[in-house]
């Protein structure tokens, strides 16, 4: 039995969910998100919650149960509140700024890195060393954050690079004489 799957997904006020042609669509103040429904899972839309249950007693249905409930929950939270990832830039001369529809990164290379901001994603730079990525789709927000971080991962000796807020960098000791 899935402990996560047993809980119904609460639907806040202002959010509506519909099923049409095996596609679950959730509409809210931050937009509309949809996902294809699994054949092994039964979705029941109530007045203030969405229940996710296995459609049959196969091993595959039980394995998908908790994951599908989490995906439905991510849709509801995305259209009501949205998701945010915060990146921190550490290093002398490393900085970021938003210019139009591009994120300009100065990361110690001989050239500046221009990262095109995708549709549905909002990027803000409250200061030169912080990048806030916001959107309604959790997967896209995480993917954009990973692509930006990939330009200069934190290195273990001085800790220079781009890291997630709250990420702990394993530090190594340098050379000894």
Whether 52 and 93 share a structural domain = no
Contacts of 3 (CB under 8 A, 6+ apart): 66
Whether 95 and 117 share a structural domain = yes
pLDDT at 4 (0 to 100): 86
Whether 72 and 132 share a structural domain = no
The last residue of a domain, from among 54, 80, 106: 80
pLDDT at 177 (0 to 100): 78
Whether 54 and 106 share a structural domain = no
Give the torsion through C-alpha atoms of 106, 108, 111, 112, to 10 deg: -10
- Number of domains observed in the structure of the chain: 2
Name which of 88, 100, 90 is nearest 126 in CA terms: 88
The last residue of a domain, from among 60, 80, 100: 80
Q: Is residue 12 part of a domain?
A: yes
Q: Is residue 171 part of a domain?
A: no
Domain containing 74: what range?
3-80
Q: Is 141 exposed, middle or buried (0-12, 13-18, 19+ CB in 10 A)?
A: buried
What sign does the CA torsion over 7, 8, 14, 20 have?
positive
Whether 19 and 91 share a structural domain = no
CA distance to 47, 65, 157, 168, per residue, from 35 (Å): 20, 15, 43, 33
Query: What CATH number does residue 29 fall under?
Result: 3.90.930.12
CA distance 32 to 49: 17
Whether 152 and 120 share a structural domain = yes
CA distance 3 to 116: 40
| Mean pLDDT, contiguous 10-residue spans, the chain (177 residues) | 84 91 92 92 90 90 91 94 95 94 94 94 95 95 96 93 94 87
The last residue of a domain, from among 80, 114, 142: 80
């Amino acid at each position: 039995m899935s402990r996560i799957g047993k809980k119904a997904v609460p639907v806040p006020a202002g959010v509506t969910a519909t099923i049409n042609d095996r596609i679950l669509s959730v509409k809210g103040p931050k937009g509309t998100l949809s996902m294809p429904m699994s054949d092994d899972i039964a979705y029941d839309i109530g007045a203030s919650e969405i229940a996710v249950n296995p459609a049959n007693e196969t091993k595959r249905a039980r394995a998908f149960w908790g994951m599908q409930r989490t995906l439905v929950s991510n849709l509801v939270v995305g259209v009501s509140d949205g998701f945010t990832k915060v990146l921190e830039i550490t290093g002398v001369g490393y900085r970021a700024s938003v210019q139009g529809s591009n994120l300009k990164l100065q990361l110690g290379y001989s050239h500046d890195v221009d990262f095109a901001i995708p549709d549905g994603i909002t990027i803000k730079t409250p200061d030169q060393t912080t990048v806030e990525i916001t959107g309604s789709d959790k997967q896209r927000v995480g993917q954009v954050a990973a692509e930006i971080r990939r330009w200069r991962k934190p290195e273990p000796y001085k800790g220079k690079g781009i890291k997630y807020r709250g990420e702990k960098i394993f530090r190594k000791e340098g050379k000894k004489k």
